[in-house]
Amino acid sequence: LAAAGSLIGACLTASASWAATDLALGMPVTGTAYYNNGDVFPYSNLTDGRLGDTGSSYDWSFWLTPDGYGGAAAIDLGSDYSISSFYIQNTLNRGYQDRAAHHLDVYLSTSAPALGNVGTYGTKVQAIDFPDTLGTYVITDDAFAITPTVGRFITVDMTSFYGYSGGLNEVEAFGSPASPAVPEPATWTLAIIGLGGIGAAMRRRRAGLASA
């Protein structure tokens, strides 16, 4: 009973540590486009773990799209996870309130999306309208839970304030590894046939030894 208790305790500890692990941290990101005109604001800023955009020049911790564009970016978690919650942080906008995410759709998929083709992004798990904080210099964010959904790729599809360009600081995702795949019935059939074949060979071998 004590052993069972410690096993349950270990499982609870494991699930608690998964709950606190940002699965997106440091994971590779691709996207439709990023601002690259002297200053550079690459996709990787979405998963660099840097929060709280400081507002200091060249201390860029966020992804920014080129002038006149919103955009989409996809984070590759490396394998399938059952995702249950997110924390998403917008940018400080440098006081202009124009270069940030206005509306954001969040998708999960098990296969890589074709960025620019919304139909390939998978299941939409959340839609966010960030508040317009014009003149208040407040970094807006959103923490939310979803119905647990299995995915390897997180795609964020963004429109910008006033159409100048979109910006987003960080995407954090939480969940646990998806359950191992259950073998297909056909695979079991092949395995059983294989075992049958081995059994027959052993019987033949025994028969051969007996007659020798």
Residues lying near Ca ion in the complex (CB under 5 A) are found at 45, 48, 50, 61, 169-170
CB closer to Ca ion, 108 vs 168: 168
- Give whole-number Cα distances, 155 to 4, 12, 208, in Å: 40, 30, 63
To the nearest whole angstrom, how small is the minimum distance from the Cβ of residue 176 to Ca ion?
A: 24
To the nearest whole angstrom, how small is the minimum distance from the Cβ of residue 57 to Ca ion?
A: 16
- Alpha carbons 94 and 91: distance in angstroms, whole number: 8
CB closer to Ca ion, 48 vs 105: 48
Is the Cβ–Cβ distance between 81 and 21 less than 8 Å? no
Q: For residue 8, give both structure tokens.
A: 């349950």
CB closer to Ca ion, 50 vs 103: 50
To the nearest whole angstrom, how small is the minimum distance from the Cβ of residue 180 to Ca ion?
A: 32
To the nearest whole angstrom, how small is the minimum distance from the Cβ of residue 76 to Ca ion?
A: 17
The 8-class DSSP code of residue 197 comes to: H
Q: For residue 40, give both structure tokens.
A: 């550079």
**Closest Cα to residue 143, out of 130, 134, 124?**
130
CB closer to Ca ion, 61 vs 140: 61
